[in-house]
Structures are given as C-alpha cells and as structure tokens.
Chain A
Amino acid sequence: DTGVSQDPRHKITKRGQNVTFRCDPISEHNRLYWYRQTLGQGPEFLTYFQNEAQLEKSRLLSDRFSAERPKGSFSTLEIQRTEQGDSAMYLCASSQGRDPKAYNEQFFGPGTRLTVL
C-alpha cells in the first residue's frame, strides 16, 4: 500500500499521560500536515512540515503538543499531560512539493483516534 499510514489507529490513555503518534507519508511527498477532528466537526489544521522544517503551527497547538519530522520522512506528534479535551481523531496528510498545482492536493491517512479517560 503506497498511501499515508498512521500508527496506532486507536489510543486510550489516562489524563495526565503522554502519548505519541506516528505518520508515514507517501514516499515522494515532501509536505506533511497534521489535523485534528473532534466529533461532529470538520478537521482543523494543527501544523505542517516542508521536508524536516516545521513552517507553521496553529494556535490550537498548545505548548503540550510537539511535532517533529527529523529526516523529512515520517513525523511524530506528541501530546504531553493529556487532557480530556484532547480526545479527537488526529489526521495526517501529505502532498507533493515540486509542482505548484500539486501543493493543494493532500492525501489523508486513516487517522489515530485518541480517547483520554
């Protein structure tokens, strides 16, 4: 399968614990995005990377959240001291960076569903 993959698909944790999610983009894509989707809402942008550089972060991304893409391939999203309000689906997407028209087309992974008890 050459699509975007995310791991784990589901995560249940207790409030106050740290969690880390992984995203593997499509191999030739150099842009990687993280979104969060809460129940009954559309996905909301969190942050994005151009290769290994994190170029933009949403105000939704509090200090407890950190994302990395150390080698410009896979990315991790860590949430420290989780709160019940962090319960959501965390989506990763990737896109090409060479063709300007292709910048817009983002391919999404299946998501990681986080439940904070």
Chain B
Amino acid sequence: AQSVTQLDSHVSVSEGTPVLLRCNYSSSYSPSLFWYVQHPNKGLQLLLKYTSAATLVKGINGFEAEFKKSETSFHLTKPSAHMSDAAEYFCVVSDQGVWITGGGNKLTFGTGTQLKVEL
C-alpha cells in the first residue's frame, strides 16, 4: 500500500520569502514521488519528480524537493516566493514496484496544501 501525508493544509508566506511544503510518504516498494500544482480552473501540472536517481530534484519555476529515505520525506521548497506561486500543491506517490509486477502506476495523491502568497 502507498500513501502520502501532507502535513499542512494551508501555508501562508510573504512574497520574496522561502517556501516549505511538507510531505511524508509510505510505500511498500521503491517509490516514485511527485509534486503537482493546481491553479484555479486549470489542470494539474507536474512540478518535479523523483524516480530513484538524484535525491535532490529540481523542478520548474525554481522549486526543489529532496528525497530522504531515512525520514520518508519529500518536502518541496523554493527560496523566494512569487505571487504567481499561490495555488494548491499535491504530493503524489506511485509504486514502481507495483508497475514491475504488473500494476498500473496509479498515482496516490495527498490531500493538498493551499499556498497563499502575500505582499
């Protein structure tokens, strides 16, 4: 079984300050982990992905995430928030092991973190 827990449902930061969105995962196999962003009335967009290569992953729009197996964490960070970053962010897990044994690589989403960026 696979799951993710997003530790904060809402995060509020000031423009220009760092962003930290926290995520812990649980997976029976070697996981693939993702962060997706959802802007109002727009589709889900992939920010970045970890698939067992480098543990520090760089994504679009200046976002990064670090895979820490010992802590089962995959926190999303950005050095300096911009107003356009305000959106809902989802931490997502997919079991590569499940795919290898014939599974479908279905994605399991967290409940989301709403990021608010204030002037």
B111 lies within 8 A of chain A by Cβ: yes
Q: Are A101 and B104 in contact (CB under 8 A)?
A: no
Number of A-B contacts (CB under 8 A): 64
A42-B49 contact in complex given A55-B104, A56-B104, A109-B43, C-beta closer than 8 Å: no
Q: Are A42 and B106 in contact (CB under 8 A)?
A: no
Q: Are B106 and A43 in contact (CB under 8 A)?
A: no
Q: How many residues of B contact A (CB 8 A)?
A: 26
**Residues in A3-46 with C-beta less than 8 Å from chain B:** 3-4, 31, 33, 35, 40-45
Q: Are B51 and A104 in contact (CB under 8 A)?
A: yes
B107 lies within 8 A of chain A by Cβ: yes
Interface, chain B (partner A; CB < 8 A): 32, 34, 36, 41-46, 49, 51, 90, 92, 94, 96, 99, 103-112
27 contacts between A and B (CB under 8 A): A33-B107, A40-B111, A40-B112, A42-B90, A42-B92, A42-B109, A44-B109, A48-B104, A48-B106, A50-B104, A55-B104, A56-B103, A56-B106, A91-B43, A93-B44, A93-B107, A101-B51, A104-B49, A104-B51, A104-B94, A105-B49, A106-B107, A108-B36, A108-B44, A109-B43, A110-B41, A110-B42
